[in-house]
Amino acid sequence: MSQQSDFSREHMLALIEKLNDYSYAYHVKDDPVVPDAVYDREYRALQAIEAAHPDWIEVDSPTQRVGEKPDNGFANVTHTVPMLSLDNAFDDESLNDFDQRIKKLLGKEDTITYCCEPKLDGLAISLRYEKGSLVRGVTRGDGLSGEDITSNIKTIHTVPMKLRTVSPPDVLEVRGEIYMPKEGFEKLNRQAAEQGEKTFVNPRNAAAGSLRQLDPKITAARPLVMCAYSIGYVEGWQQPSSHYEGLLQLNEWGFRTNDLMQKVEGAEGCIDYYEMLSNKREALSYDIDGIVYKVDTIALQNQLGFIARAPRWAIARKFPAQEEMTQVLEIDFQVGRTGAITPVARLEPVFVGGVTVSNATLHNKDEIARLGVQVKDFVVIRRAGDVIPQVVQVIKDKRPDNATPVVFPAVCPVCGSDVEQVEGEAVVRCTGGLVCGAQLKESLKHFVSRKAMDIDGLGDKLIEQLVDQSLVKTPVDIFCLSEKRDELLAMERMGQKSVDNLLASIEAAKQTQFNRFLYALGIREVGEATARALTNYFKDLDSLMAADTETLVEVEDVGPIVAQHVHIFFEQAANRATIAGLLDAGVVWQKQKSLDADALPLNGKTYVVTGTLSQFSRDQVKDKLQSLGAKVSGSVSAKTDCLVAGEKAGSKLAKAQALNVAVIDEAGVIALFEEHGAN
């Protein structure tokens, strides 16, 4: 057969090696070496060769990760060496006990070296390699035997199909955890929700569900990661004398290992590591439920052995649980700024994620239907970090006899106005507008907030009192409070000084900016960024107010729905009266320097800001870049024009460098601001 030189078998093998190198850099080292487009192009070239020569296909070709369904489901396989379980420690004391016990068993006074690893919240798995090639992947099961899920395992890019070495062990069994990173989990659930499918309760369940799929094509579409945590069994290779060294070797051979793993000395070192990781927990891109401490020296591990099914040389220190069960006592309805009526579950107080939780939002009618929650049901509450507590699951088996379905109110629970639900939307709204006390209070809180009119000293409690006493009925009334000194002085916790301060900050807030003013109005779907885009585009308030929806959609990032909200807002007589009142009361802003959005210096440019800066917060940099017309995005991609990288910039910097995106440091961005007069 005649062959072009770049269509030869040698060329194909080189292509496979190159693609596997790219994939290793991307998935295992978190350090991409080429843009995605290059990978895709070469992948397609490989596919073309393989289509022309099916008999050439290699087992470690990246095209071979997704195969056919196994014929008879998942077969049960006995582990060569049992997969042990882990004892738990819940406090520093039991960690000290663990360290003491080990020293006693070893008859040693020397400080023990431990390897500390984040305890990934996924599923344990064992992978068998023979002569360097993956032959089988088995779930942990009961520790003695598990299910053969090789076809699903192969779809995971962090699982090497072949070890990256010319002299692999005859047999190698690697143990590790398969998990789903938080971002991938959220995306998967968003897609499932959009398609009206069932969502997963947490990343762990999503990972488990994905591995249980009979069709590897489905598993392949799930963002799973495998991270190696121990060598289970080897033949024909001298293991290093330290667990840590062993994991480094696995990393060389193509496995992902956790970059936070660390060797420490003694119980003290273990406790310090716990402190360090507790502080990092929320910011990690994956869920962890604790730390695993392992005696690092393999000889000592062997000396210690195991009891029952757990090694004496390892222990898991658990973090406080982020999920707990409790009972829904009642369901109340809160009315928000835009009239959205939100059901809120009042809970039997429960300690979860480090705080006592007694309320959780149920979001809307659809969420109640999705969860199938009733009053008096037992539910699983999740609170992770600073995220507001969520009801993630109803425990239907525990439903008490007195449970009752949730009845959505037919009128607004605050003002009694009719409620409406726009077709295709999940939200039920009060139609009362500012007549509704709840909407008025929330609108005012938004109006005075830091990123809006920024009125210091006008807190939530005070706003509630002002509305309840009918001193403030519209935002305009805030600017007339100087005429109501006596009433203000009569309010709770308001002395001469606080009244003076409040009136002074109200006066100061009259000098504002066009974009802040627009944002403060609280038009639906008009957040900070949209307000900025609108005020960059329109010369002044009059032209914005006069704009029709066709003109509005010309503004960047303004779609037909936002345009509609803006247009309707300015059509309303009441809103026009409020705006006129505010201007009358003396609210002013400087005209924008540049009246033409196209003329802004960074127009059309996309920036990403990362790392720690010394002179500005990231928000301030973002603000200034936007005022110069730039778009500021959260992640680096081929579309990024420039990355502003502060100290400790991390993966975004690596990605920008790999993609040849321009990078500037703090001095660079300050110079940029100076050049365009944005300081």
Cα-based distances in Å from 205 to 47, 199, 489:
34, 10, 56
Q: Would you call 263 a catalytic residue per the annotation?
A: no
With binding defined as CB under 6 A, does residue 312 bind ligand D41?
no
Instruction: Give SS3 for 335.
Output: strand
CB 175 to ligand D41: min, Å: 6
The site map against ligand D41 for 313-332 (x = CB under 6 A) is -x------------------
Q: H or E element: which one contains 13?
A: helix 9-23
Site residue total, ligand D41 (CB under 6 A): 16
Return the DSSP state at 566. H
Cα separation, 478 vs 488, in Å, equals: 12
Q: Which of 103, 119, 396, 497 is catalytic?
A: 119
Instruction: Give SS3 for 215.
Output: coil
With binding defined as CB under 6 A, does residue 338 bind ligand D41?
no
Instruction: Name the one range near ligand D41 by CB under 6 A: 114-122, 159-167, 503-511, 544-552.
Output: 114-122
With binding defined as CB under 6 A, does residue 292 bind ligand D41?
yes
The site map against ligand D41 for 61-100 (x = CB under 6 A) is -----------------------xxx--------------
Instruction: Name the one range near ligand D41 by CB under 6 A: 101-109, 112-120, 268-276, 503-511.
Output: 112-120
Nearer to ligand D41 by Cβ, of 50 and 99: the residue is: 99
Residue type, 152: N
229: Cβ contacts below 8 Å, ≥ 6 apart: 117, 120, 175, 176, 177, 247, 257, 258, 292
With binding defined as CB under 6 A, does residue 652 bind ligand D41?
no
Residue type, 677: G
With binding defined as CB under 6 A, does residue 139 bind ligand D41?
no
Instruction: Give SS3 for 351.
Output: strand
With binding defined as CB under 6 A, does residue 415 bind ligand D41?
no
Nearer to ligand D41 by Cβ, of 62 and 122: the residue is: 122
Nearer to ligand D41 by Cβ, of 317 and 652: the residue is: 317
Give φ, ψ of 377 to 5 degrees: -70, 155
E strands, 405-469, are 419-421, 428-430
Nearer to ligand D41 by Cβ, of 261 and 478: the residue is: 261
Torsion of CA 488, 494, 496, 502, to 10 degrees: -70
Cα separation, 30 vs 284, in Å, equals: 14
Residue selected from 98, 229, 378, 479 as contacting ligand D41 according to rule CB under 6 A: 229
CB 291 to ligand D41: min, Å: 9
Nearer to ligand D41 by Cβ, of 314 and 579: the residue is: 314
CB burial of 87-100 (b: ≥16 within 10 Å; e: otherwise) equals bebeeeeebbebbe
The site map against ligand D41 for 21-50 (x = CB under 6 A) is ------------------------------
CB 410 within 8 A of CB 333: no
Q: Which of residues 159-188 bind ligand D41 (CB under 6 A)?
A: 175, 177
Torsion of CA 323, 326, 331, 336, to 10 degrees: -30
With binding defined as CB under 6 A, does residue 230 bind ligand D41?
yes
Nearer to ligand D41 by Cβ, of 85 and 303: the residue is: 85
**Which residues form the catalytic set?**
119
Site residues, ligand D41 (CB under 6 A): 84-86, 117, 119-120, 124, 140, 175, 177, 229-230, 292, 294, 311, 314
